Structure 1
Amino acid sequence: MTLKKILTSCDLYLKKISLVLCVLLPFFQLRGRAIADLSILFIAISFLLYCIFEKHYRCLLRGWFPYALGLWGVIVASSAINGSTHAVLEAIALLRYFVFAKALEEWLLNSTQKQQLLGLCVTLAGVWIICLCWEQYLVGVNPWGYPRWQDGALTGPFFKPRAGPPLAIIMFPGLMIYPMRMVQKKDLAQKLAGLALMSFLLLTMVMIGQRMPALLVFFGFFLCAMLIKTTRLMVLLATLSGFVALALLPFISPPSYDKLVLRFFEQLGHFSQSPYGQLYIRALNMVHAHPLLGLGYNGFRAHCGETTYVYGIPQFAHMVAGQDIGAGCTIHPHNTYLEIATTAGLSGLFLFVCVVLLWLKKLLLAALASRDLMQAMLFITVCMLFWPLASTSSLFTERTAGWVFLMVGWGLARARLLGPAHAPQAGA
């Protein structure tokens, strides 16, 4: 065997193993996050080996990836200046997520069949969450005996209220894709069935009782109506049914109504004094004190208790006066853009915004040019993931990053696969 044949054989086996891990990743994200993290690392390393074996370096020097490398470099530099050795090592390890997304785009999801297989597994993961949420609502506990959370949220397959975020991410490419196809049929029965399924999915998000995932899914429905005109009427009717479900919550699920509606408006009315308002003020004070490079990986968590970052910006001083110093402290600032700003400063935030805009541009142009329904669903999902006015989990924890970079990589891979010559399918 020649060296070239050996390398080709190694690349083939690595690609097969990587594909299996990628397809199973949605299940690992739900019930095996350590395995999910190792899977992402394996796929990233396998792709880099492929680039070395095949001398395929150009893909790492074009598009969004150089901006991502710049962001990663700023995070590592800031962590080295402000953080511990552990923070620097964690910052270095963040590169795996960007390489993972690039691997899906350029190497792994390079056929329709592979993407369909991933889509099926995403669908099954979403169905599993929905079934367990409704089981908990109807029976009182999930299969592991856990009841609803203290605030009334349905936890589905989890112990804590974590069913909403993954279901919101899965919603459009994994679940909404089917009723969207149904309402495009000429048969009235199929249209009505699709409308019923859309309404059920929106009702489930409302019943789960987590505010931000529910709001983002409503936002996603709005984008559906704007982007795909052939389904506009049915999507608007389904959205109307979601508002009807909200109005009926006091009767069908009082705990969800209390959290989704009453507590939501209560927090909005006194936002600066709410836990979220205090977090955001603390984060802005940190950015004000370290505008260029931020505080490095985990910088918010490490420094939020310091009095320096309580009264940093004079305009916010009256909003934190009399508050407990711990009111603005937690492990992250609960907003992706503030997290990047506190981690890598305004320079890192600029690079991050460039990366996100390049992702959105590529996905949107592919959706409009091809009129492919799945591409539109993936674009909507990425819009939801990076909507700036949202309370979010930490971007660089595996629970969030695994889903985010899986969806981004899938969307980019599909945009690359469709190409400019793809035939219209969905009337986007």
Structure 2
Amino acid sequence: MKLNVFVMNGFRADSSTAGNSTTADGTASGFGNAMPGLSPGAIILQPALRTLATLLTVLLPVLLFRARAMADADLSIVAMLFLVRSALLRDWSWLRARWMQCGLALWGLISLSSALAGPAASFVQGLLTLRFFVFCAALAYWVLTGPRAQRALGAVCAFLAIWTILECWEQYLTGTNLFGDPRWGDGALTGPFVHPKAGSALLMVLFPGLMPGILTRLQKTDHRSRLTGAALLLLSVVTMILIGQRMPTLLTCVGLLLTALLVRPMRLPVLGAFVLGAALLAALPVVSPPTYAKLVLKFSHQMSHFASSDYGQLFGRASAMVAAHPWLGVGFDGFRLHCLDPQYVHDMKLLGIPYIAPPEAGCNLHPHNYYLQAATAAGLPGLLLFMAMALCWLRLIARPHLPAHGAERVSDVPATVPATPRNAMLLVACCVQLWPLASTSALFSVPPAGWLFLTAGWALAASGAYLRPGPP
């Protein structure tokens, strides 16, 4: 069967997906090898478990958009189904994955730190973070190993991206969205939401959902497809700017730059998108004054006075906690619980961040950065483990896009999955979500944790992590 296969300079026809044999539960060989001598009940039950887990996974992006509690329950059920499947098939080989070992070590450190620092609720929350790592493994080595499940999930994300874009334009042109909600008080477009989270939501589904289709259309030879792809790309960039949220706009630019570096034919379209974006920024005082005030004026002021800004104070307070507890941190919820303790309320001269009264300026539910949160929750060892897990993810996800000699340096296992638009954009999506210089939501809360571990598990599956029997 001929497939359109994405390569560094475009598309080519290829039919090689070597090594893709299946096991008792229909997953590809490698991490999915089941033990011999299984009971008939185990063999009969596990396809039903996988079907249910697939349906829940495909539904998850919708729940992450609209129902965070249900989304948390959804991914938790998928994780539990995966554990049941592993027990039925006596297949725990996914625990050999290096990223999983780093994740489990991070979970252990967070749990230990939370137990020592207290209170009991923080310890319980620390224990429950295990569900995210197991959920990610479930997607990578079981649920999303088939192309149909990946296509269905991609279609859902593409629909959500288009819906968000249309709702933002409806709100921009008419003043309200479909549900009658106006723009936020500071001028940000809320799209299909009540609160200003359209930018971050669109960012989560843009690269894994909409961009693969854009890349495919831009690589076709007929003018209609190429024009459609270019129009969708420009519409996405313009919409993100008009939404008026600073960090999603910056991370979209980062993602497009990575796309241009990874995919040579995308360089000219990305350049055109940046030119149009720059022109729109220059015209914002006329086109959308509230967006200009927030996206340009406020951002410029925050960057020029970062140390005294709210984000600078959060950074300084979190750094003070890490400096005081470098080995174990202050537990899962320690930043929120202890940010007003006098021992942390002081200047961080080494970082050039002075203390600015009142002390509440350096407090929030979390430090607004994944890496700082890992450090405050589990100390510097926890930070290193989180970074190691992220690097293990990227190492596997990037392999289809490396030259042959580069892939050999990364791993002794030969690559068996070709580069495609989908796994290319999933690589970009992971890089965007793991970008260290970013203001983020809480690392281990839903929806941000749902998006991060969903994208990582999906990207691992799309890069063929399940085909490698050795620890990746």
TM-score category, normalised to shorter length: over 0.9
SS in structure 1 of the partner of residue 464 of structure 2: helix
Say if 2:336 is the partner of 1:301.
yes
Query: Alpha carbons of 1:229 and 1:316: their partners in 2 closer, same or farther (altered >3 Å)?
Result: closer
Say if 2:247 is the partner of 1:212.
yes
Alpha-carbon offset, residue 109 of structure 1: 0.8
Q: Distance in 2 between matches of 1:329 and 1:7?
A: 50
Q: Is the 8 A contact 1:335 1:394 kept in 2?
A: yes
Query: Of 84, 94, 116, which residue of structure 1 is paired with 2:129?
Result: 94
Q: Is the 8 A contact 1:288 1:312 kept in 2?
A: no
Alpha-carbon offset, residue 183 of structure 1: 1.4
Say if 2:44 is the partner of 1:9.
yes
* Aligned residue type for 1:402: G
Q: Distance in 1 between matches of 2:395 and 2:426?
A: 12
Say if 2:153 is the partner of 1:118.
yes
* Aligned residue type for 2:371: Y
* Aligned residue type for 2:174: V
Q: Is the 8 A contact 2:347 2:353 kept in 1?
A: no
Q: Distance in 2 between matches of 1:67 and 1:218?
A: 30
TM-score by length of 1: 0.94
Q: Is the 8 A contact 1:311 1:317 kept in 2?
A: no
Residue equivalent to 1:372: 420
* Aligned residue type for 1:12: P
Q: Distance in 1 between matches of 2:177 and 2:342?
A: 43
Residue equivalent to 2:371: 337
CA distances 1:373-393 after superposition (whole Å, capped 9, x unpaired)? 111100000000011000111
Residue equivalent to 2:459: 411
Alpha-carbon offset, residue 8 of structure 1: 2.2
Q: Distance in 1 between matches of 2:466 and 2:188?
A: 40
**1:18-167 equivalence runs, <5 A:** 18-167=53-202
Q: Is the 8 A contact 1:183 1:191 kept in 2?
A: yes
Q: Distance in 2 between matches of 1:356 and 1:418?
A: 17
Residue equivalent to 2:358: 324
Query: Of 445, 453, 457, which residue of structure 2 is paired with 1:397?
Result: 445
Alpha-carbon offset, residue 175 of structure 1: 1.0
TM-score by length of 2: 0.86
SS in structure 2 of the partner of residue 279 of structure 1: helix
Q: Distance in 2 between matches of 1:351 and 1:113?
A: 33
Between Structure 1 and Structure 2, which shows a larger proportion of helix residues?
A: 1
Q: Is the 8 A contact 2:145 2:461 kept in 1?
A: yes
Q: Is the 8 A contact 1:183 1:195 kept in 2?
A: yes
In the alignment, structure 2 segments of 5+ residues that lack a partner are 1-36, 404-417
CA distances 1:159-180 after superposition (whole Å, capped 9, x unpaired)? 1111111211111121122221
CA distances 1:86-133 after superposition (whole Å, capped 9, x unpaired)? 111111110000100000000111111111011111111111211211
Say if 2:225 is the partner of 1:177.
no
Q: Distance in 2 between matches of 1:200 and 1:268?
A: 28
Query: Alpha carbons of 1:4 and 1:418: their partners in 2 closer, same or farther (altered >3 Å)?
Result: closer
Say if 2:362 is the partner of 1:362.
no
Q: Distance in 1 between matches of 2:54 and 2:93?
A: 22
* Aligned residue type for 1:340: A
* More moved, 176-185 vs 366-375: 366-375
Alpha-carbon offset, residue 300 of structure 1: 0.5
Alpha-carbon offset, residue 334 of structure 1: 0.7
Q: Is the 8 A contact 2:219 2:265 kept in 1?
A: yes
Q: Is the 8 A contact 1:221 1:239 kept in 2?
A: no
Q: Is the 8 A contact 2:313 2:353 kept in 1?
A: no
Alpha-carbon offset, residue 61 of structure 1: 2.0
CA distances 1:237-291 after superposition (whole Å, capped 9, x unpaired)? 1222111121121111111111110000011111111000000000000000000
Q: Distance in 1 between matches of 2:190 and 2:53?
A: 31
Q: Is the 8 A contact 2:158 2:210 kept in 1?
A: yes
Residue identity (%): 43
Query: Alpha carbons of 1:394 and 1:318: their partners in 2 closer, same or farther (altered >3 Å)?
Result: closer
Q: Is the 8 A contact 2:348 2:354 kept in 1?
A: no
Alpha-carbon offset, residue 313 of structure 1: 3.9
CA distances 1:340-372 after superposition (whole Å, capped 9, x unpaired)? 100110000011000000111111112336231
Q: Distance in 2 between matches of 1:110 and 1:272?
A: 46
Q: Is the 8 A contact 2:208 2:429 kept in 1?
A: yes
Q: Distance in 1 between matches of 2:354 and 2:367?
A: 17
**1:282-301 equivalence runs, <5 A:** 282-301=317-336
Superposed CA RMSD in Å reads 1.7
Alpha-carbon offset, residue 192 of structure 1: 3.0
Q: Distance in 1 between matches of 2:163 and 2:362?
A: 35
CA distances 1:37-65 after superposition (whole Å, capped 9, x unpaired)? 11111110111111111111121122310
In the alignment, structure 1 segments of 5+ residues that lack a partner are 421-428
Residue equivalent to 1:351: 385
Q: Which has the higher contact order (CA 8 A, sep 6+)?
A: 2
Q: Distance in 2 between matches of 1:400 and 1:194?
A: 29
* More moved, 289-298 vs 362-371: 362-371
Alpha-carbon offset, residue 200 of structure 1: 0.7
CA distances 1:163-214 after superposition (whole Å, capped 9, x unpaired)? 1112111111211222211111223443233222211100000011000000
* Aligned residue type for 1:412: L
* Aligned residue type for 2:41: I
Alpha-carbon offset, residue 417 of structure 1: 6.8
Q: Is the 8 A contact 2:241 2:249 kept in 1?
A: yes
Q: Distance in 2 between matches of 1:372 and 1:419?
A: 17
SS in structure 2 of the partner of residue 81 of structure 1: helix
Residue equivalent to 2:406: none
